[in-house]
Chains A and B, each alone.
Chain A
Amino acid sequence: MTESQAPLWARLSSRALPIFGALAVITLLLLILQALTPIEAGPLEVLDAFIRSLTARGELSPRKLGNVVEFWIPLVLVSMGLVVTFRAGLWNIGVEGQIVMGGLFAAGAAFSLADLPPLLLVPLCLIAAMIGGALWALLAGVLRTRFGVNEIFGGVALNALANQITLQLIAGAWRPRDSDKAQYSRDIPEAAMLPGIDRAFDISLLALILAGVAIVVVLLLLNGTRWGLNLKATGHNARSALLLGVPVGASALGAMALCGGLAGLAGSQRILFTDGLVTSQFSGGIGFIGLLVVLLVGMRGLWVPLVALLFTIILNAGTQFQFIQLDSSLTGVLQGVLVLLVMLFSGARERWLHHRQQRKAKAI
């Protein structure tokens, strides 16, 4: 019996096996950490931190759920963009810099057009953000397609440069008037800020709608259009030329621009809603987390929103870790271990299925 003939429950549980395996290993690692190091918190305390990061007085807290959704929005935008670039066979590690440039363009538009009414200013800021992200992505794309510079290295360098540009702006043109510290910029004008729904459930409805639109548009583009099919073909060819790349052409540039635009939008949500000003590390590493999300779902776009939610919950639990004497960098470790183990278990499962099939074929 091959896998596709198995009943649905068997297929689903077989797919879920790597995830349970990964959770078991993480539990074991936390137990070892508890036993061998001065750290007192174990798996139960970590689980409790997860629960407390979502609840207040035993009930789901709308405010805490709002925090999760607020971070989920930019993560989904970025991850959907990355599904497109992965489909084109491109490793868009530069997505982190594209988020930053999007945020900076949005802030730039907000500062320079502050006199416009909100109804005009907010859309202009969002468009500026998409342009900023797309331009930074196209830079990496052109380096790759025209000059053969691998997008991984071009992207890493452009990420670092985007961070330096942020620092330069914070210390220079956007420095707060009453301060000489270069930690953050002055406040974004009120008219450019995305409105929140409610104090108790503080998310931006506009950003949420944009994230929903992005999910639908990307899924339709990839699965329902000729462009999406072309992209897939490009991707398969491009994988064979890894380091000194062959030119992969216009559809790859289109994929980069789309991903950069979505990343830029994600960056603008951080600036125009979450932070309200520009800080030195305002992206919060969403780009790298997005790459992990897409690697975990094996580039199948449909699962992205769900897995992104899982990662956001892990990240959000980090705010509770300090109460049990754990450094919040544990969130990154948990996410990394989860993705690594799921990849390893999935690989092992594939090998096992392959071996079993070969044995059966021999027996016949």
Chain B
Amino acid sequence: MDDQLINILRTLVATATPLTIAAIGETLTERAGVINLSLDGSLALAAMTGFGVALLSSSPELGLLAAMAVGAAVASIIAFANIGLRLDQVAIGFVLTLLAADLAEFLGVPIAGQPGPGMPYWPLPILSEIPIIGRIFFDHNALVYFSYVLVIGTWFWLFRTRAGLAQRAVGERPAAAFARGTRVNRQRVLYTVAGGALVGLAGAAYTLSLRVGWTTPPSMLGDGWIALAIVIFGGWHPFRVMLGAYLFAGLKALAGALQGTDIAIPVTLLNGLPWLLMIATLLVVSSGGVERLLRLLPRRWQTRLRSVLRSDPPRALGTRFDEG
């Protein structure tokens, strides 16, 4: 494999990291039945705060913590408004996404364009020595490796632990979960805030890892919506969500690579591609097209493939539950 291709794939992994972390955070939240629609603004506000704190304290680690706190704070407003005040999740999330993005721009004015500290480069010993794979996957910083652990850990949590089973029950059948003694709303608050903290971390991954620094307008604007779509495309399953994030990052890496060559593709088309892909992926999983394709296959394969490809949202997603 030539160096150029390896470099493109390496960029792909770096680009996919914030998307993966954000989409996994949202997956955790939505699995408990809550939609955090504020992703796009939360990412920007956390990214700005993370870089700002890292700049002032010269410590990227402190920046990560601050960003997580911001993400968690925004998410806790949604949890409070929805569970405490019985307001619509989507409405609050939408207002917050606009507000957080504007707040990021307003408060970020003094630090825009400044150089600052980023996550330290940390090639993993031994693993990064593996030919090709090592350079692509293990030649980054700690945040990138964290995203791998996060995906596997989330899968294990959701599908192999009792707590994860209870979480899914809260998102699927809150009444049944409540009858079995689960404190439904307490769980929802917990996973909304935890998911929000991960979204905050993803925000910091843009300004402290992917490309160090804060710019106006922020470079990640729009990615929050893509992350929300990735969760749907990923069928609320960590591995498929990660696949979705890599698909979108792949498109970006490809667009970046193409811009350097003499292949004449209008820039506007390249910039429009992720959005076309977003519509296309949602079309595939939402229109019943998958189901129709499956029916063409032998019955034995149908059931097996269906369990892998199915994209049913958590049944109680977006609804409120009154513990009465």
Q: For the complex, is B239 an interface residue (Cβ under 8 Å from A)?
A: no
Interface core residue of A147, A157, A291, A340 (most chain B CB under 10 Å) = A157
CB distance from A151 to the nearest CB of B (A): 11
Closest A residue, CB atoms, query B289: A147
Q: For the complex, is A301 an interface residue (Cβ under 8 Å from B)?
A: no
The 8 listed contacts between A and B (C-beta, < 8 Å) are A91-B94, A148-B286, A154-B279, A161-B276, A336-B99, A336-B103, A339-B95, A340-B77
Q: What are the interface flags for B83-122 relative to A under an 8 Å C-beta threshold, 1 for contact and 0 otherwise?
A: 0111100111011101101110110011000000000000
Q: Is the CB of B81 within 8 A of A150?
A: no
Range, interface on chain A:
35 or more
Q: Is the CB of A327 within 8 A of B286?
A: no
- Chain A positions within 8 Å of B105 at CB level: 327, 329, 332
Q: What are the interface flags for A143-187 relative to B under an 8 Å C-beta threshold, 1 for contact and 0 otherwise?
A: 100111110111011101100110110010000000000000000
Q: Is the CB of B286 within 8 A of A347?
A: no
Q: Is the CB of A171 within 8 A of B225?
A: no
Interface set of A (CB-CB < 8 Å, partner B): 38, 91, 93, 143, 146-150, 152-154, 156-158, 160-161, 164-165, 167-168, 171, 242-245, 288, 291-292, 295, 327, 329-330, 332-333, 335-337, 339-340, 343-344, 347-348, 350-351
Q: Is the CB of A149 within 8 A of B286?
A: yes
Q: For the complex, is B271 an interface residue (Cβ under 8 Å from A)?
A: yes
CB distance from A43 to the nearest CB of B (A): 16
Q: Could you tell me the dominant secondary structure of chain B's interface residues?
A: helix
CB distance from A181 to the nearest CB of B (A): 15
Q: Is the CB of B279 within 8 A of A157?
A: yes
Range, interface on chain B:
35 or more
CB distance from B323 to the nearest CB of A (A): 14
* Given A153-B229, A327-B109, A333-B102: A347 in contact with B282 (beta carbons within 8 A): no
Q: Is the CB of A164 within 8 A of B282?
A: no
Given A153-B232, A168-B268, A242-B90, 9 extra CB contacts under 8 A: A91-B90, A146-B287, A148-B286, A152-B37, A153-B225, A157-B229, A160-B272, A329-B102, A335-B102
Q: Is the CB of A243 within 8 A of B317?
A: yes
Q: Is the CB of A154 within 8 A of B282?
A: yes
